[in-house]
């Protein structure tokens, strides 16, 4: 067990090679922000990039499409290139466009082609609800009943999903597999490489939701042969609420017509020919549907610059140290406090947050806010705590656990109702 003193936490911060990035973010005085896995904080770099986009609009008008800095016409592809190291893909396999669920609809509409016995989609029962809604909708659009054609692998413990169970469910009736890289509640990190290999060995296409992993965990999507993926850019990547989303398509699928074709997916050099026969870009850019959302994309120019400087491997190493430290401090608490760890312990099986379980989780989250600590709650009993490598400190981790102790010692949670907030 490591030293549990405040002095020890401060010594860890003194040795932190990434500490300098913290001052590039807007930190609210008196607040410890542990919710970067839901919405990342604003950086000065993102703010400057957004203001630059507004200035281009103000001073250039329509000329910004080719004269902006960078040109708006190529912004989606440029942002994709800036994410290559984060997700381990080739620049042409990436584009930043649309929103998470719109991108998922487009990708599933493209790659789910039921034929013969293969008429089913495989997913898990711990995936984010929006993904289930999209998969159900795509089945309905093809005249298939989700109750029969959406195969949902059940969790054995309500927290994690067994890769063995997922692979066992990859039968000759499965046409497509879609899974999260990291489970949003428990933080379990799935073995993407193994699952992709096993799906392909059975002739099944496979895609992944990286919303809770991109920016926190290194990926090697191209090397692993993943067919497609999508993710948000407003959590660990700090692109702002509603930031334009990320999309990956393996180059082996270039030339496939997107399921939801749109004007901005046309090949760039001929887009303004205005012809009716669709000729998609020879890149992931083909999966764009509409005009680039400039004001929702621009902050990423600044945010991704920070990631390029910091490097995802260094960020992952610090994230693991911070979550290890958080779990060790919680483990040191007496059992009578009622806290338990609901995420996998192994470094290669967990993402960027700790899933702290307690029967009074709803009220403890409210009490934490009274201490100036921002967590989030996930039904039924999870307090998600995400010490983010770019802007959180080890001292903040220590202070968070001290607050968790005080909330139980002083029964502070009893002051709050058991109802969750509208936005948890």
**Binding positions:** 101, 128-131, 209, 212, 234, 263, 291
Cα–Cα distance between 323 and 132 in angstroms, integer? 29
216 torsion bin: left (phi>0), alpha (psi -120 to 50), beta (else): alpha
Query: Tokens 């290559």 label which residue?
Result: 84
Q: Binding site for pyridoxal 5'-phosphate, residues?
A: 101, 128-131, 209, 212, 234, 263, 291
Phi, psi of 169 (to 5 degrees): -85, -5
Cα–Cα distance between 160 and 156 in angstroms, integer? 7
Our answer to whether residue 234 is catalytic in this structure is yes
Q: Which of 190, 122, 177, 191 is nearest to 154 (CA)?
A: 122
Strand residues in 237-295 grouped as ranges (E): 246-249
Cα–Cα distance between 199 and 396 in angstroms, integer? 42
Cα–Cα distance between 205 and 258 in angstroms, integer? 15
Our answer to whether residue 157 is catalytic in this structure is no
Say which of 24, 185, 235, 321 is annotated catalytic.
Answer: 235
Our answer to whether residue 209 is catalytic in this structure is yes
The token pair that represents 221 in the structure block: 């999507």
Say which of 234, 236, 307, 391 is annotated catalytic.
Answer: 234
Cα–Cα distance between 184 and 410 in angstroms, integer? 31
- Indicate if the alpha-carbon torsion angle 50, 56, 58, 63 is positive or negative: negative
Contacts (Cβ under 8 Å, ≥6 apart) of 418: 362, 363
Say which of 45, 120, 384, 413 is annotated catalytic.
Answer: 384
Our answer to whether residue 384 is catalytic in this structure is yes
Q: Specify whether the CB–CB gap between 322 and 389 falls below 8 A.
A: yes
Say which of 128, 133, 254, 278 is annotated catalytic.
Answer: 128
Cα–Cα distance between 95 and 80 in angstroms, integer? 4
Cα–Cα distance between 324 and 356 in angstroms, integer? 13
Say which of 45, 56, 209, 227 is annotated catalytic.
Answer: 209
Our answer to whether residue 90 is catalytic in this structure is no
- The DSSP element (H or E) to which 177 belongs, if any, is strand 174-180
The token pair that represents 251 in the structure block: 């180059």
103 torsion bin: left (phi>0), alpha (psi -120 to 50), beta (else): alpha
Catalytic residues: 128, 209, 234-235, 384
């Amino acid at each position: 067990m490591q030293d549990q003193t405040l002095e020890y936490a401060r010594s860890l911060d003194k040795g932190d090679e990434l500490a300098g990035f913290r001052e590039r973010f807007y930190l609210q005085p008196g607040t410890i922000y542990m919710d970067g896995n839901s919405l990342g904080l604003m950086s000065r770099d993102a703010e400057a990039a957004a203001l630059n986009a507004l200035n281009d609009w103000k001073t250039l008008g329509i000329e910004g499409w080719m004269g902006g800095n960078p040109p708006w016409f190529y912004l989606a592809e440029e942002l994709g290139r800036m994410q290559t190291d984060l997700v381990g893909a080739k620049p042409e396999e990436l584009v930043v466009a649309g929103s998470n669920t719109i991108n998922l609809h487009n990708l599933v509409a493209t790659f789910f082609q039921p034929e013969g016995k293969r008429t089913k989609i495989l997913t898990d029962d711990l995936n984010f609800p929006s993904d289930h809604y999209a998969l159900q909708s795509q089945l309905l659009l093809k005249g298939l009943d989700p109750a029969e054609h959406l195969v949902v692998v059940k969790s054995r413990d309500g927290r994690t999903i067994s890769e063995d169970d997922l692979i066992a469910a990859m039968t000759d009736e499965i046409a497509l597999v879609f899974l999260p890289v990291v489970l949003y509640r428990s933080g379990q990190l799935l073995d993407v490489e193994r699952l992709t290999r096993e799906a392909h060995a059975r002739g099944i296409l496979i895609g992944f939701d990286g919303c809770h992993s991109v920016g926190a965990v290194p990926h090697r999507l191209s090397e692993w042969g993943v067919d497609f993926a999508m993710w948000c850019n407003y959590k660990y990547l700090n692109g702002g609420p509603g930031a334009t989303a990320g999309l990956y398509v393996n180059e082996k699928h270039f030339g496939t017509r997107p399921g939801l074709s749109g004007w901005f997916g046309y090949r760039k050099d001929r887009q303004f020919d205005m012809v009716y026969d669709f000729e998609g870009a020879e890149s992931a850019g083909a999966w764009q549907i509409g005009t680039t959302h400039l004001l929702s994309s621009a902050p990423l120019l600044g945010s991704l610059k920070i990631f390029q400087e910091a490097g995802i491997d260094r960020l992952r190493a610090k994230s693991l140290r911070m979550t290890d430290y958080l779990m060790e401090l919680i483990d040191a608490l007496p059992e009578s406090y009622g806290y338990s760890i609901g995420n996998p312990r192994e470094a290669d099986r967990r993402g960027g947050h700790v899933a702290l379980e307690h029967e009074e989780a709803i009220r403890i989250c409210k009490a934490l806010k009274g201490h100036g600590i921002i967590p989030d709650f996930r039904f039924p009993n999870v307090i998600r705590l995400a010490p983010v490598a770019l802007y959180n400190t080890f001292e903040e981790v220590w202070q968070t656990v001290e607050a968790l102790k005080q909330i139980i010692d002083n029964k502070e949670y009893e002051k709050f109702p058991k109802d969750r907030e509208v936005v948890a």
